Structure 1
């Protein structure tokens, strides 16, 4: 039986298929909903810096006594992660330096383990089950298919001893689902920390004029309004970098998400001239400009978090 999220409802979005819309007003900065990850994985490059379970960055993390590769805040986080870490722990010890699955393979392994352990709808599937996520497996080109086949081979090599794997067709579908709907978890500096899957958040359609953004608190995703929203308004996020002009944006959308955006910005191309002017500048970007952009991004995230704290106080 399908659950619900207060203030939101699933609906059929014209020309887009399934979508999400608000049933009450939301103000700029207001939290629409928060979702725990269905499954998540910390990037190998971040091991030792962040806790594998809660993604907290701190000094003096405790190392897994068996593999010596995974790090945790303490016993509580280590126990919380064991159901997933055990998929990798003994394999890392056995393979040593030859243990090299892709981040995608690691995440898919955890999704399969979660499916086996939890048969009922979980907190990240209130309005969309993971099985319902769009795969576009029939649209995948030969190059992407080869990459997926490589990931599947890695899944068999590094995880089959501790995980019962479905047939090849089902694996192709699952990898395609994750490729289209996986989210990059970022820290306050917008650096890649890991990858996760959030079924409810995956229900949100794209627009180059988004109404919400997704930020992260540990491994949970928070969906916040970036404009005032009225009942009936569709919840929309941007799947891509909006600094690109229209043609480039749609090329990327077709390549990775298999559709062309029909939003007002794409129809009018009203911002293209300014974006192309920036791109055509021949001088290299100065370090100060890059630093200013990073500071602006951090400031924006802090402002959203401050709005949340103020709301909690009120």
Structure 2
């Protein structure tokens, strides 16, 4: 395999305490593209078939029966899944992870040189944290391997069991959920070079998607020699929650400035100002209740409202656990086409989001998009356009001014 050709302006180095990392060799301004990386392999979510092109992940008007045929170069992957689907019919139901690994195996069998996705890091060299996995994750990998054999054994030659365990572990740690401008899940992909980015809860770059390409853009000024940091997780939640998530999925604890100072934690778990002071035990009990409710509830509006009612005497409306419930309630209202209810919850979520998330956050942009479109649907056009303009200002930084999402939003705002 040929030697790495590298990426202009970007250096790989040993980051103290973090292993491999990336740093810049020149200055980058806010909104500037550092580099892009095509997906090594990817799968479209089954729910998006007929709406998104299977090959390039762009919106299309074609029918679901032709989601592959517009791109001859993807015939080998079409053949792989089509044969399996024909055999199993309606019983063909591998997980997205299994489908992705099947495609990776098929590609590895024929790959003879370094791919454009591996300018800095080969897929086989991605971290898998095999030694850090608990029994639950080991059992999950075994279940994935069983699914792979069940659905693809007649169409693929598999590597040995240990190699499969390693590959699934690597995908667990390095797989990316590809999202659109409203953060809806489009599919699953792997980008080896992007996997070199280390995490910080104070990120200086953001990863967004242009079709099947991941783009890394600056959301802070970055000076020569500085390391590039993205965020692996949702930054809304307080330090303890973030650390638990990072340990559970990525096997490390963050030591960034925000995790050390916990400067936003009090804002994120705001409590009511009452005549009788709320004790620490009561706060801890309510945090525990909120965490359990977030984990267990089944997106029922009644349960969201009951949870909000239960938490409201103690937690402020800007408390992130209340915000989570209100965001879920908004989603349920949208599903039920209760747009007035969706706006009511969205307005309660919007202002705290702008305080708790970084300025150039996809979460804030997606909320402005949702709210803008809701307002317009409810004949509140001027309010809707104002919200869309705020979304556009963020999107031009995180996606780039020439991105399809930006162009489409401008057309939408002009009524085209």
TM-score norm. by structure 1 comes to: 0.91
Structure 1 position 301 matched with structure 2 position 390: no
Select 1:190's aligned residue among 163, 178, 183.
Answer: 183
C-alpha distance in structure 2 between counterparts of 1:169 and 1:117, whole Å: 21
Matches within 5 A, 1:157-306: 157-277=150-270, 278-279=319-320, 281=322, 285=326, 287-288=342-343, 289-290=345-346, 292=350, 293=364, 294-296=366-368, 298-299=391-392, 300-306=394-400
Query: Aligned Cα RMSD in Å?
Result: 1.9
Distance 1:142 1:272, change over 3 A: same
Q: Provide closer, same or farther for how the CA distance between residues 152 and 13 of structure 1 changes in structure 2, counting only shifts above 3 A.
A: same
The structure whose Rg is larger is 2
Task: State the partner residue of 1:312.
Answer: none
- The alignment of Structure 1 onto Structure 2 pairs a total of residues equal to 300
Determine which structure has the larger strand proportion and give its number: 1
Partner of 2:411 in structure 1? Answer: none
Change beyond 3 A, Cα 1:284–1:118: closer
Asked whether the equivalents of residues 208 and 398 of structure 2 are also in contact (C-alpha less than 8 Å), the reply is no
For 2:101, the equivalent position in structure 1 comes to 108
Q: Is the 8 A contact 1:31 1:308 kept in 2?
A: no
Take 1:152 and 1:290, find their aligned partners in 2: how far apart are those partners? 41
Q: 1:151 to 1:15 in 2, by over 3 A?
A: same
Q: Is the 8 A contact 2:31 2:396 kept in 1?
A: no
State the SS of the aligned residue for 1:216: strand
Distance 2:65 2:90 in 1: 18
Q: TM-score, normalised by structure 2?
A: 0.69
Judge conservation of contact 1:139–1:258 (CA < 8 Å) in 2: yes
**Partner deviation per Cα, 1:83-137 (whole Å, 9 max, x = no partner):** 1121110110110111111110000011111111112101000011111100001
Residue 215 of structure 2 corresponds to residue 143 of structure 1: no
Closer, same or farther: CA 61–177 of 1 in aligned 2, 3 Å: same
Q: Indicate the structure whose relative CO is greater, using CA pairs within 8 Å and at least 6 residues apart.
A: 1
Give the drift of 1:284.
5.5
Cα separation, partners in 2 of 1:269 and 1:282, compared to 1, 3 Å:
closer
Structure 1 runs not aligned, ≥5 long: 65-70, 310-314
Gaps of 5+ in 2: 271-318, 331-341, 351-363, 370-390, 404-416
Contact 1:208/1:263 (8 A) holds in 2: yes
The whole-number CA distance in structure 1 between the counterparts of 2:205 and 2:346 is 25
Query: Which residue, out of 59, 62, 82, partners 2:61?
Result: 59
